Structure 1
Amino acid sequence: MLTREQNERLVRTGPGTEMGELLRRYWIPALLADEIPEPDCPPVRVQLLGQRLIAFRDTLGRIGLLDEMCSHRTASLFFGRNEECGLRCAYHGWKYDVEGNCVDMPSEPAESKFKGKIKHPAYPCVERGGVIWTYMGPPELKPELPELEWAMLDSSQCFVSKRLQETNFLQAMEGGIDSSHVSFAHRFNMDDDPMHAGTEGLVYLKNDTRPKFEVTESDGGLLIGARRTVDDENYYWRVTQWIMPWYTIIPPFGTHNPLGAHAWVPIDDERCWAWSINYHPTRDLHDVELESMKRGEGIHSKNIPGTYRPLANADNDYLIDRQAQRDKRTFSGVEGIAAQDFSLQESMGPIVDRTKERLGTSDAAIILARRRLLAAAETMESGEPLPGAKPEHHRVRSASVILPKATPFQEGAREALIVKPGEEFVSI
């Protein structure tokens, strides 16, 4: 259980807040590359960490991410013209390049040098893994680019989607590192889910609904081991990687299925972007897999057409089917792995009052993740590299393994938890 003050420190991410300043020290998944697909295409609104922004791709294909409101009279640049290597405000014609320089000011006399004094807030961007990433922290502290395995693969090996989640980022992320809920929330759907069906690990998961957790700190975040009994001599371990500040890698089921991962990025204090990724390090994704992902199956979401809001949402009680719940077709009555998760997380309210929690042994990872975030926020001015900010922190995998009972999972799964490009991952 957290104090009210600790909870506030963890969930407030706007400019000037402790957690907001920490999160700005990392590269942030800002939008899908397909949202600004070609040079001079229409700009799009982006909101991150409580800031309203505009993204555009200029005539040369460079990516700009600017504060939404024009530096002149604060009209929205969403209505601007994307033309000739800059975004021009529709109100008085002030034009900005991708670095925020004012390159034209037609409302001023031709001899005026005023435009040279204007520097509109702008944030550097890179495109990698089908995602546009931005850095919003102090320029002199900008870390190296992210090297998560999925972001380094060919586009044919990876599928990325995002959806709106109407909660604070922390409770969404805490769901991602909570392995014990799988035996309940998803219990009656895993036999049909393409990432779980027919795997040996699914048998152990369903047979033992009381996993024992062992959690250790890693250089980049946490190693979370969920232990279930196989027989008198062996344990089945599902080892989750949590990479600070918001990434999770799902322990795999079988080697024939793609791996899964998430990122949980604050829009503001009461909403976040839930990113979902499927990828395979040694082969292209199959057409049947891609079609399933595009339909919003598995860890992805069926969204309202033209938006990133799920079709099943709070306004329609997540399309809950009580008959399906009674018939044990779904445990909660909500269809789909993703919707089963976010329906329960959103039911907690936009920001959980963690002073009311009563945590058990299965919550060990959640407790330690909170401590790591708070500790990093307290020490971020020390100059030391932040956990999860270095490329070597990203070159990790999750795994599922069977180990003798006497073998610590960190030792028995050590090699399985390291990215080895071109090599198969380890799974049961």
Structure 2
Amino acid sequence: MSDLPVVVIGAGPQGLAAAAHLLERGLQPVVLESGTGPGAAVAQWSHVRTFSPWPELVDAAATRLLARHGWVAPSTGYPTGGEWISGYLTPLADALGDHVRYRTRVTGVSRQGHDRVLTKDRDEAPFVVHVVDHHGHESTLSARAVVDASGTWSQPNPAGADGLPALGEAAAASAGVVTHTPPAPENSAARAGQHVIVVGSGHSAMTAVIELAEVARQHPATRVTWVLRRGSIGDTFGGGESDALPQRGALGTRVHAAVNAGLVQMVTGFRTERIAVESGRATLIAEDGRTLSAADQVIVLTGFRPDLSFLSELRLELDPVLQAPLKLAPEIDPNLHSCGSVPPHGAAELAHPEEPGLFLVGMKSYGRAPTFLALTGYEQVRSVAAELSGDHDSAGRVELVLPETGVCTGAGLPDAPAEAHQGGCGGPTQADVSPLSSELDPIDA
């Protein structure tokens, strides 16, 4: 199989970095991207600013490749998703040239002549990757190895409290009353005078709440309701001014201020069971019978999960809870770790013993764990490329020292101020949506 390419699924930050490392090692990558350009998922939050500064968002091998084309790495500032694409991902994809194929969706990966059950000579069979292009034409590629860097963006978690879509959620989404993607600023502005519900406690949800709170400030008839499944506020607002990462701290500070100013009404312990749509408006009903006032728009931002459907004929070794590689899962369990406390790891932790040559990297390697550090992903693909080239010593070394800040890529502040850019059961009842007091529960920064 030495003459076959390494197929990389996804032309996001980790997929493109993987291709750069593979080229440095003398291997031939083929990057398959379903979108029309690099960073298709990042483009969906192009207006949002990252928590990490530029030096933590570029890969070393990619930088070396780009330097040969006259590119100079940005050294300061926190780019938006759009700036990350235009300033780094697009030049990198251009430098990789014909190694990247767009509008090509992977529909299945298996072993040539082997389904999931057949064991005989399995290790000696090349991978076969089924794809469909934008014209609907189907074809296959043979590969010596497969690096899945497809991320999790295409699989948003639902509003339903039990991990499944709430009753009526799919129909409400089809009707356009429920969305599972962060709104762009212009879409938030279009909600002036309406009632909007945001479901979720993470950074994407906080960013949406901040944008909508500004609309409410300018248009007092606008109502913003923020729904959390958790029963208490806890560390929802992050570390504020004491946060090790200013961008993340500023995000929590602004959303806290919006709540205290009465621009946002907060509901805790609300676990959605049903979404009813009537006359173009959605009503959320909780498991305990509470209801929220009908909303013109419900924005569900509750995280993501990996799409494993096109890997169903491969023998994956995944943790049954997180759906992450079995050896990695204990290190990324969100009950025990933040992304800053996860040690660097590589090919050994990402491997699937019964499918040598297969690696899940990037955000997809974290399964359902909610946070991910770009630098961690770059170390992953460096190690994987070394392993595939036969340099097992380099693959086993740790060549990254993580900042001890809990830094995570994710939703920062769109158009943030300059200072933030420094480094019981019963019948249905109306839910309690009183603004928070200024006293917070203890914050785990």
Say yes or no: TM over 0.5.
no
**TM-score using structure 2 length:** 0.24
**TM-score using structure 1 length:** 0.24
Q: Which has the higher strand share?
A: 1
